[in-house]
Chains A and B, each alone.
Chain A
Amino acid sequence: MAHGSIKDKVAIIGAGCIKFGDNFDQSYIDMVAAAGRLAMKDAGVEPSRIEAAWLGTYLPNNGLGKAGSTIADPLHLHGIPITRVENFCATGMDAFRNASLAVAAGMYDVVLVLGCEKMKDRAARGIPRVEHPSIGKGTTAPALFALAANRYMLEYGMPRETLAKVAVKNHYNGARNELAHMQKEVTEEQVLKAPMISEPFGLFDCCPTTDGAAALIVCRADIAKQFRDDYVLVKGIGLAAFSHMPYYDPTFDYLGFKSTQTASKMAYEQAGISDPAREIDLAEVHDCFTWTEITNYEDLGFCKKGEGRHLIEEGRTRIDGDIPVNTSGGLKSFGHPIGASGVRMVYEVVSQLRGQAGERQVKGASLGLAHNVGGPGAVSCVSVLGLP
């Protein structure tokens, strides 16, 4: 079996992200157009320079985002291949992965990746359920992750207070990010006293329901310098799918996600990373719920299984810690418009590596990671990005 590597073959030369939030005054098309133009402007390219595009949208609303051609008119991309990608919560990052692979294969020089999700045009209970009418009925996103969190917390004796610290940290970061949905700090006490959503997750343990869009311009690494000096290189990308309904899998121990463990191993191998906690300067990880961030620490190899709590409890994943996680505010505070999230995370890592993250800047950052997990555990995607 071939194990190719994408290392240093693909560069990110443009990145754009709109303000995430309750974007009631913007349509899906408005958000696509805004994010796409920001990225093109950042890269200094016109639509005519784009040779192919990938669109990440999890759930088309009113028919918008169902096919790649949804973005053809607003971004004036006619006569090129545009493909929509959908892969649960890894949708956006998988769009980025597909674009990178196409460039690495030599098919295109310059391509667009766009993630967009219009979530705030539905009833008030989060993601609409599109589950199987019997064997998948009764699921909610928080409940699916809570099933794992409860088993994990019982196994490792971890209290809700530890979960709350993740919310406090990510809200602290989000309060310093003008593009984030929730720009407000919270205290541990507020988190613990918030209304219960799905035990053990209270309101502040859950990411909000958010509108948003983000975009990237990706090109061949060897021509990146034509566009800018501070381009960012793709060092490795891995994606791994496991059981579509892991809650039926008798071999699933609910203590972590094999998909993240496997996808990160793929990415690390390509990037030549052997000690991620030491080598990676910052990570944007999938904190859809507070517990998810803790299991991510372990599944991404930042620490051993069952020891993730120490990273948050000891403050090691704060911006000033030795392995800063979710400097953007994370899904928790920045918001999680599903198809946009993976692209938005790459945007944050790019900003950090270019030194443009303002008061959230991780000093001297040269290697960053972005990660999504969906399903929960059905699919994960991990990207490692670095400076040339």
Chain B
Amino acid sequence: MAGISSYGLHVAAYRLPHDEIARAWRSKSAKGEKAVACYDEDALTLACAAAQDLIAGTDPSKFGGLFFASTTSPYLEKSVSAFIAFVHRLGAGAITADFANSRRCASSAVLAAIDAVGSGRADEVIVAAGETRTVQPGSSLESVLGDGGAAVSIGQKDVLAEILASVSISDETYDEFRRSEAAYVNEGDPRFAASHTFAPTVARVTELLLEKAGQGREGIAHIALGAGNPRGVKAAVKAAGLDAQKLVPPYLDKVGYLGAAQSLCTLAQALERAKPGEKILWISYGDGADAFLLEATGRVSDLPPSRVDAAVADRRPLETYEQYLKFRGVFDNSSPGPGETAVLHHNEHEWNLPLLAHECSGCGLVFYPPGPSCLRCGATEGHSRVPVPRRGEIFTYTTDFLAVNPDPPQITTVCTAENGARLFLQGTDFLPSGAEVGLPVEFQIRKLHDGADFPVYYWKARPASR
């Protein structure tokens, strides 16, 4: 039986206080803050980082597929799942597909992953969601929407929770939507949505699922239902005949509602709270709903202390609304200089996206970029391509006020990876005085610049999280 094998998270580290939004718009503040993508993050990088967190410490070739889910993909035409699978070196022939256009798209991808695993097409499939939704500035939803990524993997062996049943219903309605040419989500009338689309849909999908599974409501230990409107969630759960006390508490006042990534994040929270044998009702809403009944296995007791809590706690203050606007690209000062070309990308992406170094056949030196000759002994034949670990430490750095950067000063680093490779990398997510020689760092794919014809994604160094 298919189940949830593992999960990973990357919540954008910057936090914009609701007070600051209220100051900018002279409105009333609801206490709290929301996660904001750094200027170099987008749905692709957030999902990529969440998948990296999921894969860390395992052999990436065991994954037979990766699905990307987002309503804010940086591309309308180009596969983000293919990019993430390439960066993380998934198995050859891994299936990839992008799911989009609904806040429910991550759970739709999970349904597809269950089918892929069930049919034997793949042993284990990752679903990685990333989201950076933006609403009309100054509108009520602005303080609610947060940026983040979450990932789960669906497999058959050694799962954290078995998926006992799943159902899906679709609905044709206008609550939140965004037209393809629009920059902002249209939030519609939240009260109408809560009472006339959200609550009835949750009630209906719950009924269908429990009937299919032959499961009574009293046996549900945890309800994972992530949405941006906590009052609406409680009302909907009540309408479905469920006990609102069983709801996994969301982090709305700490990171906000993460769009397509929210349902995966809430599921991860439920897995962290569940005891072996407990049942989880997981509902993902958007243009209908997907619902899943899961049962935690003994493996949940081996989970380390909450990684969701750690991701939420990994925060840097975003001091002003102006800084938020810069991060959203409202003031464009993208870095000048040459862009990448399709052929250069073709020549180099095999090593510069998965971050592969050469280990010298003669003297064992690990050097990057993986050029033909060893930097130390000059051997030219038989080097092995080795992955550069995603962690290391700062060898030297500078705080550069001259470099064009949306959030100056730019921290520029030279890092030594755990396998000895030396990397020149821009820093990101650093506090202005946060770098020091010897500081542990992790490497993440970020959007380096917008380039000429296409954005250039590459690695940056950030202070190590866990």
Contact = CB atoms under 8 A, between A and B. Distances in A.
A247 B416 contact: no
B369 interface: yes
B402 A248 contact: no
A150 B369 contact: no
Interface in B348-377: 348, 352, 365-369, 375-376
Contacts of B449: 133, 137
Contacts of A151: 395-396, 437
A143 B412 contact: yes
A245 B424 contact: yes
Given A198-B402, A250-B367, A251-B365, A133 B412 contact: no
Interface in B397-446: 397-404, 409-410, 412, 414, 416, 420-424, 426, 437
A167 interface: no
Contact of A247 (B420, B422, B448, B456): B422
Contacts of B412: 138-140, 143, 146-147, 198
B424 A148 contact: no
Interface in A150-167: 150-151, 154
Given A133-B339, A137-B337, A197-B402, A248 B395 contact: no
A133 B423 CA distance: 15
Interface string A237-260: 000000101011111101000000
Contact of B338 (A123, A125, A133, A248): A133
A104 B290 CA distance: 83
Nearest to B340: A133
Contacts of B424: 135-136, 139, 245, 247-248
A126 interface: yes
Contacts of B338: 130-131, 133
Contacts of A138: 335, 403, 410, 412, 426, 448
Contacts of B458: 134-135, 137
B400 A198 contact: yes
Contacts of B397: 147, 150
A143 B395 contact: no
Nearest to A129: B337
A11 to B, nearest CB: 38
Given A247-B424, A250-B416, A134 B448 contact: yes
Interface in A188-202: 195-200
Interface string B265-292: 0000000000000000000000000000
A134 B352 contact: yes
B337 A134 contact: no
B438 to A, nearest CB: 10
B368 A150 contact: no
Contacts of B416: 250
A250 B400 contact: no
A196 B414 contact: no
Q: Which of A133, A138, A243, A252 has the most CB of B within 10 A?
A: A138
Interface residues of A, number: 39
A284 to B, nearest CB: 26
Interface in A107-138: 123, 125-126, 128-131, 133-138
Contacts of B409: 196
A142 interface: yes
B336 interface: yes
A252 B422 contact: yes
A146 to B, nearest CB: 4
A243 B374 CA distance: 11
Contact of A146 (B340, B366, B398, B437): B398
B399 A198 contact: yes
A126 B335 CA distance: 14
B344 interface: yes
Contacts of A134: 340, 348, 352, 448, 456, 458
B375 A199 contact: no
Given A135-B424, A151-B396, A250-B367, A198 B340 contact: no
A150 B404 CA distance: 21
Contacts of A243: 375
Contacts of B398: 142-143, 146-147, 149-150, 198-200
Given A138-B412, A147-B397, A150-B396, A250 B420 contact: yes
A361 B390 CA distance: 56
7 contacts: A126-B402, A133-B337, A137-B449, A139-B412, A143-B410, A148-B396, A198-B398
Interface of B: 335-340, 344, 348, 352, 365-369, 375-376, 395-404, 409-410, 412, 414, 416, 420-424, 426, 437, 448-449, 451, 456, 458
Given A135-B424, A243-B375, 13 more contacts: A128-B336, A133-B337, A139-B403, A146-B400, A147-B414, A150-B437, A151-B396, A197-B400, A198-B403, A248-B422, A250-B366, A250-B421, A251-B365
Interface of A: 123, 125-126, 128-131, 133-140, 142-143, 146-151, 154, 195-200, 243, 245, 247-252, 254
Closest 9 CB pairs of A and B: A146-B398, A151-B396, A247-B424, A138-B426, A143-B400, A198-B400, A134-B458, A133-B340, A250-B422
